[in-house]
Structure 1
Amino acid sequence: MELHDVKDIAVLGAGSMGHQIAMLCALGGYSTTIYDIQEPALEKAKENLEFQMGKWIQKGKISKEALEEAFARLSYTTNLEEAVRNTDFVIEAVVEKLDVKRNLFAAVDRLAPAHAILASNSSTIASSKIADVTSRPEKVCNMHFFFPALVMDCVEVVMSDTTSQETADVTLAVCEKIKRTGVLLRKETWGFVANRLLFALNKEALKLYEEGICDYKDIDIIVKKSLNHPLGPFELMDLSGIDVGYYALEEKYKETGNIEDKPPVSLEEKVNAGTLGRKTGKGWYEYKGAGVKVK
């Protein structure tokens, strides 16, 4: 399989990552289908994309004609078989829970063409934990975009022991076609590269906060002013979604049993309260309008 064989892409999950990844694929010239089990999620995805891409037109980043062509290549469905039956490339972007991903990959493997590559956008769950439920482990890999996908350039393409070089090469070529920088990791590790570094920073930030060393707002100020980060760790948790980091740590704790890997109490409290960051209007900070932080 080569890049020219990829014409149709299915993105599974219409959430904060999925709909933006799908837009990138449509902008890259691919016939793209967004699948989600919930119709309201698809409606919200379409609404968000129309708003976000409208801002691109206002800023002169894309012409109205080019955007109309991209939207014409984009379709939405709650029917998994419809989404993948003619696909050449699948990008899974559902909740960061291993059992959910395994069930989905098993179903997709039965429904998608034999030649199709199955990629997971998971930020921490390695594809080797999913590939064994399929009949094509050599065609399974990680394709980890960063939030927000329409802004962030990097994509981590991660090979497992069973991922073929052909799969890696095609995935990197897809990254290039959708104007993203794909970086190949030939060996799996929890969190890959970016999130392994990020989670180390977040872990220390949360520990400092929970020990009463410093208020979370002041930790953000220190990180931005002294390390020159554009966002502090708590602001970044709000941007990415507090539940995303929580579920990633929860999966790691299930795997290792190490108390050090257990999600911090402050994260668990926010997930239980449903205050997950910008997407819910409140996380560590409060937001109004289009994700504007309330001082």
Structure 2
Amino acid sequence: MTIKNITVLGSGIMGHGIAQVSAMSGYHVVLRDIEKQFLDKAMEKIKWSLDKMVSKQKLTEEQGKEIFSRITPIVDLGEALKDCDLMIEVVPEIMDLKKKVYAEVDKVVPQKTVFASNTSTLPITEIANTTSRPERFIGIHFFNPPQLMKLVEVIPGQKTKKELVDDTINFVKSVSKEPVVCKRDVPGFIVNRLFIPLVHEAAYAMDRTGATKEEIDSAVKFILHFPMGIFELADFTGMDVIHKATVEMHSRDKKVINPHPLIEKLYDEKKLGQKSGEGFYKYSGEQYERINLSEEIAKKFNPIQLLGNILNNAAWLITNQASDPQEIEKALLLGMGLKKPLFETAKQFGMKNIVAELEKLAKNNKFYEPDPYLVSLM
């Protein structure tokens, strides 16, 4: 597959970010949305981002202009797809909406076009099967914001051709990103399968132990080596994103997630985190505020149950041949910013202790039963 022309469907934060990243790597990009006003806004943001890079001397003024000129905003779908080699779909995470978009695309797209979805949790196989080319359909999950985040998850569907996986890995590298392949189309892929259940588990840990959010977050940051606390990270991501991902993942696999009612409650109350001014924490103003966490506060909470949760999901990915330890560590480093490998942290706690903790929880809820891979590491 030779890729020269890319069409990005959807011009929101992810869409215009992917368009910019692709144009910066020399591709000709068509950015498509349903209304001109959305495209105008997206092009303004791309221009602002490129101007910022020019002011920081990461690009010359000439390079900035050249990159910008490689992105063409188009409303008409047929026009947007007429010479497209790779279409990257970035419409909202609603399965019915995605299916509707692909039905329209299928009628006007050239035979040569490969389909890619930037979905973060919806099953690639299910979307692919609504199109006329499931063997030429793949998941390319960029992380937010695409301009800064290095990780891209590559997810083949059940019918995706092997060569397309290799071509997609090469494409991801060509836009200066690091690919991680999720070898099976499992709910949440790699990063969200580890991150989303952990938010719920942290809420359960609060119930079980009476620990404060700050104590749990301090332990996650200073003992589990996350870049920030888990509640902090949830607020930063957005409760709308977490809730939707929870519903999708849980509806497809009850084993992946043990939903805590607090997440849905915050979502229903429009307490979406940083973007709405309140989530787990309260915020004031536009700037992202860091919560006051410390190593001293971290000593008040033992995060072994949280570690057990994320390890159990990592082990599930390994047992079910969706990933391997090296790829999981790479995904956690680049996608979640972990400052120390997960399995190294596990060694410090002792795998025996972690498995024992999971077994204790499993007495009341089978969800916590330790994965055979974890047991094998004891």
Q: TM-score range by the shorter chain?
A: 0.7 to 0.9
- Given candidates 253, 264, 267, the residue that maps to 1:271 is 267
**CA offset at residue 56 of structure 1?**
2.3
User: Is the CA contact 1:12–1:18 (under 8 Å) kept in the aligned structure 2?
Assistant: yes
Equivalent positions of 1:140-289 (< 5 A) are 140-209=137-206, 213-256=210-253, 258=254, 261=257, 263-285=259-281, 286=283, 288-289=285-286
RMSD: 2.5
**CA offset at residue 265 of structure 1?**
3.0
User: Is the CA contact 1:11–1:35 (under 8 Å) kept in the aligned structure 2?
Assistant: yes
Secondary structure class of the residue paired with 2:7: strand
Question: More strand by proportion, 1 or 2?
Answer: 1
Task: Give the direction of change, closer, same or farther, for the CA distance of 1:261–1:185 in structure 2 (3 Å limit).
Answer: closer
Residue 52 of structure 2 is matched in structure 1 by: 55
What do residues 206-243 of structure 1 show as CA deviations (whole Å, max 9, x unaligned)? 32346673333443222112222112222322333322
**CA offset at residue 149 of structure 1?**
1.3
**Tell me, which stretches of 5 or more residues in structure 2 are unaligned?**
292-378
**CA offset at residue 166 of structure 1?**
2.1
The structure with more radius of gyration: 2
Query: Equivalents in 2 of 1:270, 1:39: separation in Å?
Result: 34
Letter of the 2:262 counterpart: S
**CA offset at residue 175 of structure 1?**
0.8
Secondary structure class of the residue paired with 2:13: coil
Alignment length (residue pairs): 290
Residue 105 of structure 2 is matched in structure 1 by: 108
**CA offset at residue 132 of structure 1?**
1.1
Letter of the 1:51 counterpart: W
- Given candidates 280, 286, 289, the residue that maps to 1:293 is 289
**CA offset at residue 29 of structure 1?**
1.0
278-287 or 156-165: which moved more?
Answer: 278-287
Query: Equivalents in 2 of 1:263, 1:240: separation in Å?
Result: 17
**Tell me, which stretches of 5 or more residues in structure 1 are unaligned?**
none
User: Is the CA contact 1:147–1:240 (under 8 Å) kept in the aligned structure 2?
Assistant: no
**CA offset at residue 46 of structure 1?**
2.7
Query: Equivalents in 1 of 2:96, 2:122: separation in Å?
Result: 11
| TM norm structure 1 | 0.87
**CA offset at residue 35 of structure 1?**
2.0
User: Is the CA contact 1:249–1:262 (under 8 Å) kept in the aligned structure 2?
Assistant: no
Task: Give the direction of change, closer, same or farther, for the CA distance of 1:195–1:77 in structure 2 (3 Å limit).
Answer: same
Residue 305 of structure 2 is matched in structure 1 by: none
| TM norm structure 2 | 0.70
**CA offset at residue 137 of structure 1?**
0.7
Secondary structure class of the residue paired with 2:6: strand
Question: Identity over aligned residues, as a percent?
Answer: 34
